[in-house]
Amino acid sequence: MMTKRFKKLTYIIGGGLIAAGTLVACGHSIHHAPPEKKAEYIVEEINDELNLQDAQLTKLNALKDHMLQLHKEHKVKKLQTHEELRALLDKPYLDQEAILSHIKAKTSYINEEAQQVVALLGDFYNSLDDAQREEIREHVDKFMKRHKRWRGE
C-alpha cells in the first residue's frame, strides 16, 4: 500500500520527466533552429533524396550560401526600414514621396538579387539528371497538394 506522500512524489517526478522529455523533443525541432542549421538540414535532405554527385552538391551549397547571405542582409535592412518608416510617422504629415522612394529602392534590390538566385538555382537544377528532376517534380506536387488549404483551394 502506497502512502499519500509517496503517490504525490511519484506524480511530481513522473510529470517532471514528461515535461522534460517534451522540452527536449521540441527543442530539437528544425523549425526552431537558426537559419544556418535549417539550410544545412535542407541541403542534407536534398542530398539524401537525390543522391547528388560532388559537383551537384557544390552548386547546391553555393545557392545555400547565397541565400544565407541574403538573409543576413535582409535582417539588417529590415531594421533600418522599420526605423525609417517610424521616423516618417513622427512627422506631422505623411511624406508619400519618401515612402514610394523606399518601395522603389526595395523593389530594385529584390529584382537584382532575384537574378542571382535564379542563376544559381538554374545552375543547380540544370546539373541534375532526368531521374533527379522527376524526383523534384514529385516533391513539389506533394507539397502543393498538402498546402492547398493554405491557398484557399
Residues 67-93 as b or e (16 or more Cβ within 10 Å = b): beeeeeeeeeeeeeeeeeeeeeeeeee
pLDDT, tens digit (0-9, with 9 covering 90-100), for 25-38 = 555 566 778 889 99
- In angstroms, the Cα distances linking 106 to 77, 94, 118 are 10, 19, 18
Q: What is the pTM of this model?
A: 0.72
Q: In the structure grid, which three cell numbers stand for residue 72, read together? A: 543576413
pLDDT tens digit string along 59-107? Answer: 999 999 999 999 999 888 888 989 998 999 999 999 999 999 988 998 9
Residues contacting 120, CB < 8 A, separation 6+: 59, 62, 63, 66
pLDDT in tens, 99-145: 999 889 989 988 899 899 999 999 999 999 999 999 988 888 888 88
